[in-house]
Copies of this chain bind each other. A is one copy, B any other.
C-alpha cells in the first residue's frame, strides 16, 4: 500500500504495451467503447494480474468526484440510528461509494465544524439524519443533500421519511379499540419533523376518533431519551388528570415513562397502557414488551442512499420526498381496558 508496492496505470500500460490513456479507457465502463474489444479484454486481464487498484486520490483530483458521502447523525449510540446507517452504507456500497460518518450530539456548532470537514474532503453528497424543521443553511449547500428519518420544512430539500401520521393513527385506533378513552401523550421535540408530525397526528386523530376535542393531556419532551420520558411522565402524574393510556413519541421515551410510572406504583399494562414508536432493537425484549410502530429504518437508510445516487446522476431535478409505510406491532405494554 506504499509507494513502491502499488501498481499504477503506467505499470499496466507498460505490461500491455499501450498508452496509459488506452488503459484508462479500457478500465472505465463509460469509455470502454473507445477501445477495441480484444485489446480491452487483454488490458483488463493484465490489470487483474498486476492487481491494479486505481488511486482514488488521483482520480478525484482530476474528476472532482470523491465517491464519498458525508453522513451526519445526532449520535450513533442512539439505538435508532445504527440500522439507518447500515442501510445507507449498503446502498452506497452498491454504487462504489463509501460513507464518512460524524456525530453532532445535537450541537449546532459542532454540526457546522463537521460540515466544514466534509467540505474539505469534498464529499459528493450529504445524508443528514440530524436535520431540524428550520435549517436555513441547508438549501445553500453546494452539494446534493438528502435528509433521512427527519425532514426539513424547506421542501426544496429531498427527504426519505416514514409515515408518522399513519403510525400515530394506528396506535390511537388500537388503543381506542382496546377501550381506552383517556389517552395522555408524551410528545417529542417540536423542532424536529418527527416530534411535530407525530403530535399533530395525535391531536388530529384524537378528534376524528371522537375521544376528545379540547387541549390534549400532553407534555413535550426536549429530547428523545429515557430521562426525558421519566420527567414527562412525572409531570403528567403531577397534573392529576387521570389517563388509562399513554402515547409516547418514541420507544426511549416510553421506556423512561414506564419506569417512572412503576416508581409511582402504576403498573404497565395493568394500570396504564403505554406505546412507543420505532420498534428499536430490544423493544421486544423489554418487560413489558413494547407495543410500538415499526418503521423500516434500514430500508429508509437504503432509500436515502439510492435517492442521493439518483440525484447525483442526472442534472438537478425537482426535489423528491419518499414516505415509507409503517406498521403497528402490538405487544405486552398495551391491553384491553379493565
List residues of A whose CB falls within 8 A of some B CB: 1-3, 5, 53-58, 60-61, 64, 66, 75-77, 79, 81-83, 85-86, 89, 93, 98-103, 116-117, 119-122, 141-143, 226, 255, 259, 281-282, 285-288, 298
Cα A273 to Cα B145 in complex, Å, equals 50
A79 to B103, CA, bound (A): 17
Q: Is the CB of B285 within 8 A of A255?
A: yes
CA distance A58 to B122 in the complex (A): 11
Contact of A117 among B5, B98, B119 (CB under 8 A): B98
Which 6 A-B residue pairings sit nearest by Cβ, starting from the closest? A287-B287, A1-B142, A57-B60, A57-B61, A53-B120, A77-B82
| Nearest B residue (CB) for A255 | B285
Inter-subunit contact B77/A281 (CB<8 Å): yes
A120-B98 Cα distance, complex, nearest whole Å: 12
CA distance A285 to B116 in the complex (A): 38
Give A226 to B285 CA distance when docked, in angstroms. 10
Residues of B within 8 A of A58 (CB): 57, 61
What residue of chain B has the Cβ atom nearest to residue A71's Cβ?
Answer: B101
- In the bound complex, CA of A116 to CA of B60 (Å): 18
Q: Inside 8 A of A122's CB, which chain B residues have their CB?
A: 1, 55-57
Q: Are B86 and A82 in contact (CB under 8 A)?
A: no
Q: Which residues of B contact A57 (CB under 8 A)?
A: 56-58, 60-61, 66, 122
Give the one of A5, A64, A141 with max B CB within 10 A: A64
